Amino acid sequence: MTKPLHIVILAAGEGTRMKSALPKVLHTLGGRPMLMHLLDTAAALQPAAMHVVVGNGAEQVRAACSERPVNWVLQAERRGTGHAVMQAMPHVPDGASVLILLGDHPLIPLQDLQQMLGDRSAALAVLTMTPDHPTGYGRVIRDHDDEIMAVVEERDATPEQLKFREVNTGIIMADATKLRGWLDGLGCDNAKKEYYLTDIFSLAHAERTRILGVLAPDARDLQGANDRRQLAELEGRYRSRRAGELMDAGVQIIDPERIDIRGSVITGTDVRIDVNVVLEGDNRLGDGVAVGPGCVLKDCDLAAGTTVHAHSVLEGVSTTGVCDIGPFARLRPGTVLAAGCRIGNFVEAKNARLGEGSKASHLTYLGDSVIGRHVNIGAGTITCNYDGVNKHRTVIEDNVFVGSNTALVAPLTLHRGATIGAGSTLSKDAAADALTVSRARQATIKGWKRPQKNRDMK
C-alpha cells in the first residue's frame, strides 16, 4: 500500500537580502508570488495534505494564498530549517511520506519530484544537483562506496569539502516516523546556532540508513532566489520556459527573450507575437492573431484574424471576428468588437460594444457605449459618460456618422443614419437620417487688432 504523502513547504524566511518589507516568498515571478508557483506544482502531486510553515509576514502570506487548501503552520521563533520542520510534524501522521520543499524555489520541475517519489520505500532521499557555481549551497558528502553520508552547509564546510560540486537542493523526502527521531537528535552546534535540517543525513548514516540521492538533470530549474539578482535570473528562466511552451504549440515568437507570459495563454494556429509583448491573466488568441511589438494584453479573447498593432494596451477585450486595433490603442474592460471593427491610434474604449464594420480611427474616447454597425467615429470625439457621480450610456445606432471634435453628453442616443456635424456638443438625442449640428456661429471681426506688448513697461 502506498504511503500517504504530506508536503511541508518552508516559507518563513525574512529574505533580508531582498532588501524589501515584502515577505520573501511573495516576491513575484511571472507576475505571481513565488509561493503560488510552488503550491501549483505541489498540488499536482495530489498529496494528502500540504503544510506551509510561515514566520515573517505570516498574515500577508496567508492572505496572498488564501484560496489554497493548505494547513498554515506558524514558526514564531525562527531557529533554522530543522526547527521549521519540527513545527509541521505534529500535523503529519506516522506511516506517511514527508516531502520537504523550499518556498523560494518556485521552478522545481514536477517530473523531478515525481522521480523522487517513485520509490517511497526509501526512509530518506534527497534531490541533488551539480550547478556550474555551487557557491552558497550545502555540499553532499559521499563515502568510498558512493553512499551519501552527510550534507555540510557551506559556512561549516572544510576547504576540501568546498571542492565538491554535488550540492543539496533542499528538497528532501523522508519516512515520517524516522524523520521525527532524527529531528529529535538535532543540535545547534554550528556557525549560526541553528537547527539545520541537513544534519539528519549524518544521523541517518550513523544508523546505517541508506540515503537515496536523486540527481536532477538540470540545475538551472532548482535555483533559489535569495536576492534581486537571483530573482531576475529565475524570471529569465521562467520566461524562456513559457516561450518554449508557446513555440511548441506552433506560435511564432520573434524573440523568445523578449516576451513575458504572466498567466495562461490558449492559442490557435499561426499566431504571431512580436518583441516586448506582455501577456497577463488569461488570454485566448485565435487562428492567425498577430500582436505587434510593445503590446500588453490582459484577460483578452481575440478572434481569428485580429491584428493588434504596436504599443497597444488591451484589458478584458473581446473580438468576435477579424478586427484591426492600434497602434497606441487603449482598450479597457468590457470592450467588445465585432467583425470588421477598426480601432486606431490614441483611441480609448471602456465598457463599449462596437458593431460590425464600425470604426474609430484616432484620438477618441468611447465609454459606456453601445455602438451599432458601420458607424464612423471622427477624430477627437468623446462620450461624456460621467457626471461626477454616476455613469451614463451613449447609444449610437447603425450607419451613424459622427464628425470630428464632437462631444456626446450621455445619456444620449444617436438614431439610425444620423450625421453629426464636426465640432458639435450634443446633450439631446439626434434624429434618424438627418444632420444634427450644435456649434457657435462663425464670425469675422473686421478691424480687430491683436494686442501688442507695451514696450514702456518694465
400 closest CA partner among 379, 387, 414, 390:
414
Active site residue 144: no
Per-residue pLDDT at 360:
98
Q: Is the pLDDT of residue 442 over 90?
A: no
Average pLDDT, the chain: 94
Q: Give SS3 for 41.
A: helix
Average pLDDT over residues 208-223: 90
The helix or strand, by DSSP H or E, that contains position 5, with its residue range, turns out to be: strand 5-11
Q: Is the pLDDT of residue 457 over 70?
A: no
Give the number of other CB atoms < 10 A from CB of residue 70.
21
When mean pLDDT is compared across 106-115, 119-128, 373-382, 420-429, the lowest value belongs to 119-128
pLDDT band at 89 (very low <50, low <70, confident <90, very high): very high
CA 171/CA 38 separation, integer angstroms: 12
% of the chain exceeding 70 in pLDDT:
99
To the nearest 10 degrees (0 to 180), the angle between helices 176-184 and 81-88 is 130
At 271, which amino acid appears? V
Record the pTM: 0.86
Q: Give SS3 for 435.
A: strand
The number of residues in the chain equals: 458
- Which residues are bridge partners to 284 per DSSP? 266, 301
7 closest CA partner among 50, 40, 68:
50
42 closest CA partner among 69, 2, 12:
69
Q: Which pairing describes strands 139-142 and 124-129: parallel, antiparallel, or unpaired?
A: unpaired
End-to-end CA distance of the chain: 99
Q: Is the pLDDT of residue 436 over 70?
A: yes
45 closest CA partner among 122, 121, 126, 111:
111
Alpha-helix runs per DSSP H in 44-100 = 58-64, 81-88
CA 325/CA 335 separation, integer angstroms: 12
Comparing 441 with 423, which gets the higher pLDDT? Answer: 423
CA 288/CA 250 separation, integer angstroms: 11
Per-residue pLDDT at 119:
76
314 closest CA partner among 301, 302, 331, 327:
331
Non-local (6+) Cβ contacts of 361 within 8 A are 342, 344, 345, 347, 377, 379
Q: Is the pLDDT of residue 434 over 60?
A: yes
Q: Is the pLDDT of residue 62 over 60?
A: yes
Q: Is the pLDDT of residue 193 over 90?
A: no
41 closest CA partner among 92, 121, 103:
103
pLDDT band at 458 (very low <50, low <70, confident <90, very high): low
Q: Is the pLDDT of residue 188 over 90?
A: no
Nearest 5 degrees, angle CA 403-CA 407-CA 412? 100
Nearest 5 degrees, angle CA 75-CA 80-CA 81? 85
pLDDT band at 147 (very low <50, low <70, confident <90, very high): confident
Q: Give SS3 for 229.
A: helix
Q: Catalytic pick from 144, 205, 362, 374?
A: 362
Per-residue pLDDT at 155:
86
Q: Is the pLDDT of residue 41 over 80?
A: yes
Name the residue with cell 439610425: 416
Q: Is the pLDDT of residue 274 over 80?
A: yes
Rg (CA), the chain: 31
Q: Is the pLDDT of residue 317 over 70?
A: yes
CB 143 within 8 A of CB 65: no
Q: Which three cell numbers stand for residue 198?
A: 541537513
Per-residue pLDDT at 1:
59
What are the structural domains, with CATH classification, of the chain?
Answer: 5-222 (3.90.550.10), 239-436 (2.160.10.10)
Per-residue pLDDT at 199:
92
Question: Percent helix, strand, coil in the chain (nearest 5)?
Answer: 20, 35, 45
Burial code of 407-432, b = ≥16 C-beta within 10 A, e = fewer?
Answer: bbbbbbbbbeebbbbebbebeeebee
CA 164/CA 202 separation, integer angstroms: 17
Per-residue pLDDT at 318:
98
C-alpha torsion sign, points 18, 23, 24, 25? negative
- Which residues are bridge partners to 343 per DSSP? 325, 360
